[in-house]
Structure formats: C-alpha cells, structure tokens
Amino acid sequence: MWVLIALLLLLLGPRIGIAATMDKPILSLHPPWTTIFKGERVTLRCDGYHPLLLELRPISTLWYLGHLPLPSHKKSIEVQTPGVYRCQTRGAPVSDPIHLSVSNDWLILQVPYAMVFEGEPLVIRCRGWYDKVVYKLHYYKDGHVMRYFQSSANYTIPQARSSDSGHYQCSGTLRIPVESTPMFSAKVAVTIQELFASPMLKVVHKSESRSGGAVTLRCETSLHPQKRDTPLQFSFYKYSRPVRRFDWGAEYIVPETETEDLESYWCEAATVTRSVRKRSPWLQLSGRGSISSTSSIATRAPPPAAMSRNPVSKPLSFRKPPDPRSVPSITFAPNSTLSETLTSAPSIPTAGPTVCTPLTSLGQSAYPLKSNMDVLLQEMQLLKGLLRQVVLELKEPHTVLRLPGTPDIPILDLGVSTATPETTGKG
C-alpha cells in the first residue's frame, strides 16, 4: 500500500509542480471579432496545461460566463450569448476575459478581441447585416473621418501607435433592395497597449561595474507581461552623436578619457524591425561616474581668475580700498611760489631702484586714481583763471574784471607806464 502511494506521488509530483507554477491559460475567439449579429455563433478555445496521465477526475477545463460555470468541459465551445467569458485548466489560474457583444443593427464595427500592441497591425471591419455590401463607407475616430471607401473594405493601420487609441465608428449605405440613407454603427473603444516602457539611462555603481575607472551606463526598460519574450535592441548617444549603434547589449561603457568633463548621454530602445522606438531622458555625467547638478559642478572647480591669483589654492582675501582723503596731493596756494608748494609736499623716501609690484585689482586702484584726476582738474581750472587775469591786467590795468570764483591775486608790477600817448607827447 505505501509503495503504491509513494509511486503515485513520484509520478504526480513533477506535474503538480508544473501546474502550480504555470501561467494562466490563453482564451481565443474564432472568428476574432468581439461583436457579432444576433443569431450567429462563435468558437471559444482554451489553451493551457491539460494533463493526460493518472487523472483522478475527468474534468480538464472549466468555463465561466460571468461568475456562472458552464456545463461544458471541452477544450473549445460554441457560444452565441453575449457576456464575459473565461476559462480555467487544472491547477492554473483563470484566463483573461473576452467580452462578446451581440447586435441587431444594420451595421456593426468589428475590432480584434485580443490586445493590440504598439508596432502591430490594427484591423477594423465595418460589416453589413449578414455580410451585405456597404457602400459609401466612412471610418471615424473620435468623430473625425479617417478613411473613405466606395464599398466594403477593412480599415488597416500597419503599425499601431498609442495615439491610435480612441473610439471608432463607421457609416455607409445598404441596398435593401434600393440604396438606403446613411447608417451608423455603434462606437467601439480601441486601446493600443504599450509594448515596453520608455527607457531610463542609469549609472552602474563601481561595485557593479566590470570596468576600472570607466563609467558603465545601463538602458533599462520593461516589457509587457504578455510580450516579455520580445527581443529588444539598444543604442547610446552622446548629445546628438551616436556612440554605439543598435545591438543586443543594454549597457555602454563610457571611456575613461571622457569621464572628466561634463557630458550628456541618452539611450534608445527598439524592436528588431524598428517598428517601435523609444528614447530615454538626458543623463548628465560629471567627474568619474558621479551625477551632479550644475551648482555642485561649479563648486568643484574655482573660477579662472581666482586660480590665476592664487596658484596654491589659498583662501581669497579682499582688502578695503584706501581712503581718498589720505592720498597726498599737490595744489597751488594763493600768494605762494611753486618752489614753496613743492617743498611743503611730503617726500617719499626710496631705498633703491623701483621694483615691479603685482598688479592690483580694479576695485583697489579705482579710488586713488579718481582722487588724482580731481586734483589735476582743479589745478588746470585755477591755472586757466590766473592766465585770464594776467591777460586782462595787461590790456586794461584800471578795469580788471573780477571773474566769479577767482581768488584775490595781487597786481603784478610789470613796469608799464600808465600814461596815455597824448600825455607822453606833451612831456
């Protein structure tokens, strides 16, 4: 007895493990349209794990309409009742649902029952009552005309995109027996599934990197669970220049010579046929594989001016410019000679020949320069006034014009006679 039980467990054990870990079964519809006319029949098929040996029960497939079980346990069944259908095989979870609609209209718009992914063809069919020919056929998407056909034809999008999702509808005329007025089908929602997410370019840490000082970038994305076996290829770009064309590798090693400067990279993931291509956002690299913002980059390197003034990277110091009032100046004083003025000015002793002094900054020399210029302008204005006073004294000694702002200056005795020519002749 125990030997028989052990033998049964030995035979059933692997199959029980397979059933426990298997995926849910796949439910298909034939013909592949989710809307049919009243009175028509379609076939549902459940593909999954079906054990053949050592079955304790003859039931291998379970069918559900909504939440109610159906009496059939075959692998495929024919139905004509509208509703949501599911199936289940031994030990596996319940399949994805199929929603079947039944219409009594003159026109129906038929779309595929299965999910349509990016890059796959999308076929939409406008069908007349029991396959009557539809004339003056229009296809609409979200209320806008997409295509026009003279008679019955399918509307096909060779490579669907996410932007093709929307509500579709068709209109046309039927000859019953004469041509009717335009008829419209019911609107049907179509959703294009995302094949894979937009990639993200990331930096592999040094502990994960197989290279030395270089930086390894990885282009990461995720496929839809139903399309996880779809092969993808990757391409890498530096700014707008490709650094590696499409191949099977999802990683790119940045050369060590390019990791010192600030660089921007991005990657692109695509199917083998390039029917679907998606790019990642920009990724900025600074230094040896570290990601840093613009502010941190600015703190890593001092400004060029600071480096030229401080080659040994000493802290910068700023000195207050000297007070203009403390700068010695030479001015002309009334009733004094030039020698006395120069003698009264303080002298600056020099211990030797003049040596080259480092150039001072503009902020340190602006105030003394401005003060010297002011003094020079004042001296020029004073000299101009003195010259004008002398000229007037020579022309008209007795009528000296007093200029505003001119200091009192003693009249110079130049030995010129003040007598007129007439009095001179009399003497």
pLDDT digits (tens, 9 = 90+) for 298-308: 333 333 333 33
- Per the confidence metrics, is the pTM higher than 0.85? no
Closest by alpha carbon to 110, among 16, 32, 175, 217?
Answer: 32
Low-confidence spans in the chain with pLDDT less than 50: 1-3, 5-6, 9-10, 13-21, 53-54, 207-209, 288-366, 401, 403, 406, 409-427
Amino acid at 239: Y
Closest by alpha carbon to 203, among 222, 220, 189, 218?
Answer: 218
Residues 46, 95 contacting (CB under 8 angstroms): yes
Task: Give residue 380's pLDDT.
Answer: 85
Other CB atoms within a 10 A radius of the CB of residue 110 amount to 22
The topology (CATH level 3) of 200-298 is Immunoglobulin-like (2.60.40)
Please determine whether the domains at 105-193 and 200-298 fall in the same fold group of CATH. yes
The topology (CATH level 3) of 105-193 is Immunoglobulin-like (2.60.40)
Task: Give residue 330's pLDDT.
Answer: 42
> Using CA atoms in the order 49, 54, 56, 62, what is the torsion angle rounded to 10 degrees?
20
First to last CA, the chain: 177
b/e burial code for range 321-333 (CB count within 10 A of at least 16 → b): eeebeeeeeeeee
**Strand 263-271 vs strand 232-238: parallel, antiparallel, or unpaired?**
antiparallel
Q: Is 415 exposed, middle or buried (0-12, 13-18, 19+ CB in 10 A)?
A: exposed
Task: Give residue 107's pLDDT.
Answer: 96
19-102 CATH, one of 2.60.40.10, 2.60.130.10, 3.40.640.10, 3.40.50.620: 2.60.40.10
Closest by alpha carbon to 277, among 245, 239, 325, 307?
Answer: 245
Task: Give residue 357's pLDDT.
Answer: 43
Residues 6+ apart with CB under 8 A from 58: 73
Give residue 392's Cα distance to chain centre: 81
Q: Where are the domains of the chain?
A: 19-102, 105-193, 200-298
Task: Give residue 118's pLDDT.
Answer: 96
b/e burial code for range 142-171 (CB count within 10 A of at least 16 → b): eeeebbebeebeebebeebeeebbbebbbb
Residues 6+ apart with CB under 8 A from 405: 385
Closest by alpha carbon to 98, among 43, 60, 61, 49?
Answer: 43
Give residue 193's Cα distance to chain centre: 24
Q: What is the pLDDT of residues 237-293, one digit of tens each?
A: 998 899 999 999 999 988 776 665 667 899 999 999 999 999 999 988 765 444 443
Closest by alpha carbon to 101, among 115, 120, 80, 119?
Answer: 80
